[in-house]
Amino acid sequence: MAKFFDIHPADPQTRAVSQVVAILRSGGLIAYPTDSCYALGAQLGNREALDRIRAIRNLDSKHHFTLVCSEFAQLGQFVNMDNDVFRSIKAVTPGPYTFILPATKEVPKRLAHPKKKTVGVRIPNSRLIHDILAELGEPMLSSTLLLPGEEEPLTQGWEIKEALDHVVDAVIDSGEVGAEPTTVVDFSSGDAEVVRRGMGDPSRFE
């Protein structure tokens, strides 16, 4: 049965954040709110959690997983980007965008795309996520919480607890959350390609 945390979005309770991070460090899988919609999250090197996310979402091996980072400076450790891409991404972060970029060797092989060797990266505009990542001390493996057959993500913590009570280890509720996922921009070829239109304004990348 998943633990349920009611955490204030603007002033997250330190004790609750520490409990969530403890669950992540012990190999747990969490459902958490972002600045766009709910997502599934786990520690970066957690192979079992990766398989659990694939099972929950019915994903194939070509799906791009995302590294959720706390700040722009973390990106350089995990992805390669030239100066133009650097400036383009920096201009809209933190915010509701996911960027697909060539992965460095710091990214676990199971997490990168098997053929393209790319990975998604994202910096949410969320105090809660920033606090979780600050205590965790590293980016978090993440994927949008979109269930098979559904066109929109679930938006209520209690709904997610009911739906995923026996397949995740914790659910975080922080009040109202949107139902629109991030806008995804693929920079792996060097030029911007919008591959999913979402909450972030895609016009600047088109």
pLDDT in tens, 136-178: 999 999 999 999 988 888 889 999 999 999 999 999 999 889 8
pLDDT at 101: 96
* Contact criterion met (CB below 8 Å) for 32 and 5: no
Q: Checking DSSP bridges between strand 38-43 and strand 30-33, what pairing results, if any? A: antiparallel
What ranges do the domains of the chain cover? 3-205
Residue labelled with tokens 């722009």:
72
- pTM of the entire structure? 0.94
Share of the chain above pLDDT 90, in %: 83
pLDDT at 17: 98
Distance CA 96, CA 120 (A): 13
Q: How confident is the model at residue 114 (pLDDT cuts 50, 70, 90)?
A: confident
* Neighbouring C-alpha atoms within 13 Å toward the C-beta of 16: 18
Q: 58: which 2 tokens?
A: 């019915």
Q: How confident is the model at residue 84 (pLDDT cuts 50, 70, 90)?
A: very high
CATH, range 3-205? 3.90.870.10
pLDDT at 6 over 90: yes
Distance CA 111, CA 8 (A): 31
Q: How confident is the model at residue 77 (pLDDT cuts 50, 70, 90)?
A: very high
